[in-house]
Structure 1
Amino acid sequence: MRSSNPTLRAFEAPQTWDDAHAGRPLSKAGTNTMTIGGTVTATSILLGICVAAAIGSWAAVSSANYAFLQFPFLLGGMIGGLVFGLIISFKPRTAQFLAPVYAALQGLFLGAFSYMVGNMVAAKVGASGSGTQIGTTLVLQAIGLTFAITAAMLFCYVSGIIKPGRVFRAVVVSAMGGLMLFFVVALVMSLFGNSTLISVYSPTNGGLISVGFSLLVIVIASLVLVLDFQWIDHGIQAGLPKHMEWYAGFALLVTLVWLYIEILRLLAKLRSNN
């Protein structure tokens, strides 16, 4: 079995996972191995660090005295997050030490990015000076929807409403591959002066195709969450080492950040049409 989320490949055992496990409730394991409680704790800590860093980042870039930090937070958070994310992905044992750093870097990026989106929407609707207010509204809505979708996907997995078998995984993996290929093509075209495709990523592009694209990406990200839950479930059942709880928290954070960004982007597009 191959994960659509690269960070979760550490959960893959040499043998093939039995599809009969799909959809089974998350189960507990021994005290020296990965457990539900430990995974929830690690995930909660990482989310807390990310949110705290995002709040601090937002407060800084929205202040006249520290507005210059917006670009460093955006670039530093993105590049730093990528570097630490790759290290953790290839060396899962480092997750318990590096995942908190990754969460903080993602928080810095999200705070600056969210503030930037708010200002972009305010400028688009002709409400200059209201960027903070608009941004705050969009952020709160995006956070609420992110956790609502996460809870819904967890319920669907645990209850067996969604059973991620081989076909399900193949479809989601193919969709992920398609998204990555589309982004690369769009980026290359933009480098040659053609912004037709890359424009669908703009938070202020409220066109029908752009909004539809965002909805599609959100659906795919939501389905990836189901696969995340399945791999974590398999990891617990396999009795993986205790440090994998932090790796699981890191992997979930990767998907949650992606989902939040896409929801925020969609809300911004819809707000830009008003």
Structure 2
Amino acid sequence: MRSTNPVLSRSDAFTPGYRQASYQNLGHQQQYAQPGYGQQYGYAPQARPPAVMTINDVIAKTGTLFVILLVAAAASWFLLPASLLYPVAIVSSMIALVASLVVTLRHSTSVPGIMTYTIAEGLLLGAWSRVFEYYYPGIVSQAVLGTFAAAAVVLAAYRYLNVRVGGRLRRIVAMSIIAYVVVALINFVVVIAGGSLGLTNTGSDAGVLSWLFAGIGVVLGVASLLIDLEECERGVRMGAPAKESWRAGFGLMVTLVWLYTNILRILSFFRN
């Protein structure tokens, strides 16, 4: 069954049967590399088994992306004047959106697209977090700890309790994520135009819709993280190419950033 994760589903490397097809192709290559084959043309090709993705590859790529994300976030937090925080946040969010669409819609892994998204998202998070920290001192450190705690609980549930999102529930989660993103984009356009749908307000008077939108975001983020972990494990099991570890790391980073932003907003609901 093809993954419902929009990042990983564009790659055949994360689907059952990939390894078998790859080995069949390698078998044809080895047939052509038999002694004497091609010597009449002046060459003798050699078949080499392709490098495959490992869990260590995924961890390394995910860590690399988070380092780049944090460096970009620190740059916008410490180096930008207050007057540029909102313009940089708006421009970087648009760049991140385009880059994420490029990475998601391509069947092959686009490392430049992943790097572009990571830098743009880092600039956005740094600017946005600095604004929140100004209004609600100490909230950013609390949101970071909350995100790590949520990720640790999800990882423990996946690893030790064998919690999975499968079957019909997985399809519901996938459709819910798409609907959530569409609504968020509509709200973004309305906010840029000077209006408000009441979905992304902050503070103690945010309103019911903001509470509901942020709460749904956290639930979908947790479910998406479970799916991401399963898809990474499936990619390793199916013998995905080593380059696909960039796509897996990208998917994990996007989910954790999503969790952080929603937890940050929920924490603001308890502050004046």
TM-score range, shorter chain: 0.7 to 0.9
C-alpha separation between the residues in 2 aligned to 1:14 and 1:247?
10
Match of 2:62 in 1: 43
Match of 1:89 in 2: 104
Tell me, yes or no, if the aligned pair for 1:57 and 1:108 is still in contact at 8 Å.
Answer: yes
The counterpart of 1:57, out of the listed 76, 85, 88, is 76
| 1:210 aligned partner, one-letter code | S
| 2:155 aligned partner, one-letter code | L
C-alpha separation between the residues in 2 aligned to 1:162 and 1:140?
29
Match of 1:23 in 2: none
* Residues 95 and 143 of structure 1, relative CA distance in 2, 3 Å threshold: farther
Match of 1:101 in 2: 116
Deviation at 1:250, TM superposition (A): 1.0
Deviation at 1:11, TM superposition (A): 4.1
C-alpha separation between the residues in 2 aligned to 1:215 and 1:81?
23
C-alpha separation between the residues in 2 aligned to 1:237 and 1:177?
27
- State, as a whole percentage, how many aligned pairs show the same letter: 30
Tell me, yes or no, if the aligned pair for 2:75 and 2:126 is still in contact at 8 Å.
Answer: yes
Uncovered stretches (5+) of structure 2, i.e. residues with no partner:
18-48
Uncovered stretches (5+) of structure 1, i.e. residues with no partner:
18-29, 123-130
Matched, 1:76 2:76: no
TM norm structure 2: 0.77
Instruction: State the SS of the aligned residue for 2:8.
Output: helix
What does the per-residue CA deviation read over 1:51-84, in whole Å, with 9 as the maximum and x for residues that have no partner?
11111111123xxxx3333134212211111222
Match of 1:138 in 2: 139
C-alpha separation between the residues in 2 aligned to 1:92 and 1:165?
23
C-alpha separation between the residues in 2 aligned to 1:231 and 1:115?
34
Match of 1:200 in 2: 199
| 1:90 aligned partner, one-letter code | L
Match of 1:164 in 2: 165
* Residues 261 and 88 of structure 1, relative CA distance in 2, 3 Å threshold: same
Count of equivalent residues: 240
Which structure has the larger Rg over C-alpha atoms? 2
* Residues 181 and 162 of structure 1, relative CA distance in 2, 3 Å threshold: same
Tell me, yes or no, if the aligned pair for 2:202 and 2:268 is still in contact at 8 Å.
Answer: yes
C-alpha separation between the residues in 2 aligned to 1:14 and 1:208?
39
Match of 2:262 in 1: 262
Tell me, yes or no, if the aligned pair for 2:58 and 2:245 is still in contact at 8 Å.
Answer: yes
C-alpha separation between the residues in 1 aligned to 2:148 and 2:124?
19
Tell me, yes or no, if the aligned pair for 2:103 and 2:113 is still in contact at 8 Å.
Answer: yes
C-alpha separation between the residues in 2 aligned to 1:14 and 1:260?
26
* Residues 33 and 157 of structure 1, relative CA distance in 2, 3 Å threshold: same
After TM superposition, the structure 1 stretch with the greater mean CA deviation from structure 2, 4-13 or 247-256, is 4-13
Tell me, yes or no, if the aligned pair for 1:60 and 1:67 is still in contact at 8 Å.
Answer: no
Deviation at 1:248, TM superposition (A): 0.8
Tell me, yes or no, if the aligned pair for 2:11 and 2:108 is still in contact at 8 Å.
Answer: no
After TM superposition, the structure 1 stretch with the greater mean CA deviation from structure 2, 49-58 or 183-192, is 183-192
| 1:222 aligned partner, one-letter code | V
* Residues 154 and 203 of structure 1, relative CA distance in 2, 3 Å threshold: same
Instruction: State the SS of the aligned residue for 2:222.
Output: helix
* Residues 2 and 194 of structure 1, relative CA distance in 2, 3 Å threshold: farther
C-alpha separation between the residues in 2 aligned to 1:256 and 1:229?
12
C-alpha separation between the residues in 2 aligned to 1:179 and 1:42?
27
* Residues 114 and 4 of structure 1, relative CA distance in 2, 3 Å threshold: farther
| 1:145 aligned partner, one-letter code | G
Q: What pairs with 1:206-225 in structure 2 (closer than 5 Å)?
A: 206-225=206-225
